[in-house]
A and B are shown apart, each in its own frame.
Chain A
């Protein structure tokens, strides 16, 4: 029992270290640097220590320092309790979703089976959606409690956008659930060992729609009407400063990691390497003994998984710096008139194909 507890604690620590400790800060730098490259600028090179800029990596520390030392401002007439609570409501769900995200398969080492997921829930995929829908309140309440019209408009846009795209997003993954016959993320991941059984080949349309809807759920360009700088100052977080603003910022980047992870698990073979099954991989390292072979394969799989996740984060960033912002009515039209009917059609076609193949 103590060993299980220790393993779980290590997994929790690992996930927190990767998401909050590594991805969230490094992505702020990646986004600056990548946008600079795409726009032919030099970018992010001002912060230096004794003349060293380290490609602008010190900006991460400078940001952190700035956020910690800035005045925490609560506007007049704002609801103090809700104003303070909402960044927390936005950030916590973003981290919580990783409780059910598997970052590797099952490995047996020294008589101990290690399942690389913190909680192997049988309704894992729905858990992600449920938790993500809670985060909506962080943004909605933030705008309302600020006592500012820009913020209020921002959070109303958030609310309507979230409702619209949650429906489409929920329906697009039904196809995946039908193909793999499970809502358990570890089962869906394990079912994609064969390259041609990857979700992308089973549900190409499903992947495109899911990716679009999830970017809309994360409110990033081109779906960033809730925080449109040119119209609403900064939308729902206009009245936030210091670390509270930082929490919204961090939530957005962690959600990018979540999207990358879910897309990888559902559509791109999770932790599997194309044309290289786990059994072959283990037999390649057999000369080290069974336990060590398992350990090395586990490390490779974790590396492959986060490599894929990084790739999809990069794709999201390229989209962000390529497309202009959609108008509000275009966003609504895309959600209700294109994604919703298409995802329903996708379910029907998937059902017919599955019936025909059986």
Chain B
């Protein structure tokens, strides 16, 4: 039953991911990316991680992609500009990096979850609920969490300073 939902969802995600790369127009790519993220949220729901799914939609599909769209529209990229064309010599390098990345990811999942292709790793108790995410964020990962927030703050201040010096 679960697989019946998983396979179409996975297919949609993969197809949309390819569309992100091969789409001619930047907005088309962005729309495909949003669709892909919604599909990923669906995969999270299948894992009973409602909270993670909702966060995926709010943060990535909701907030970040609106900013992407805003910038694309601000620059009014239509897809016929030189800026947007994929440079020929980069294709092979990019594909190679992608394959390497996939291998790394697979090895990573293999080590952490002990998962094989045909037997998915077991999902821990109350995985992905608001309580679980909150507790692990504020107990086991409190230092990385705080470091990340300081990094974000620094980036924000930096952006404001850079923008301000241009305006003045």
* Chain A interfacial positions (CB closer than 8 Å to B): 79, 82, 121-123, 126-127, 129-131, 133-134, 136-137, 140-141, 143-145, 152, 155-156, 159-160, 162-163, 166, 170, 183
Contacts and interface: CB of A to CB of B under 8 A. Distances in A.
B105 interface: no
* Secondary structure call for the B interface: helix
Contacts of B61: 130, 133-134
Contacts of A170: 58
Nearest to A155: B73
A130 B69 contact: no
Contacts of B55: 126
A82 B27 contact: yes
Given A136-B62, A137-B31, A130 B57 contact: yes
B40 interface: no
26 contacts: A79-B25, A79-B27, A79-B28, A122-B129, A122-B130, A123-B54, A123-B130, A126-B54, A126-B55, A126-B58, A130-B57, A130-B61, A133-B57, A133-B58, A133-B62, A134-B38, A137-B31, A137-B65, A140-B66, A140-B69, A141-B69, A144-B27, A152-B73, A152-B76, A156-B70, A159-B69
- Most-contacted residue by chain B among A126, A131, A143, A152 (CB, 10 A): A126
A166 B50 contact: no
B74 interface: yes
A82 B58 contact: no
B62 A141 contact: no
A131 to B, nearest CB: 8
A163 B27 contact: no
Contacts of B51: 122-123, 126
A144 B68 CA distance: 13
Interface residues of B, number: 25
Given A123-B51, A152-B76, A159 B66 contact: yes
A166 B70 contact: no
A183 B131 CA distance: 11
A137 B69 contact: yes
Contacts of A152: 73, 76
B34 interface: yes
A142 to B, nearest CB: 12
Interface string B38-50: 1000000000001
B67 interface: yes
B27 A166 contact: no
A134 B62 CA distance: 6
A163 B63 contact: yes
B54 to A, nearest CB: 4
Contacts of B67: 159, 163
A162 B74 CA distance: 16
Nearest to B50: A123
Given A140-B66, A160-B70, 9 more contacts: A126-B54, A134-B57, A137-B66, A141-B31, A144-B69, A159-B66, A159-B73, A163-B67, A166-B63
Contacts of A126: 51, 54-55, 58
A170 B62 CA distance: 12
A130 B27 contact: no
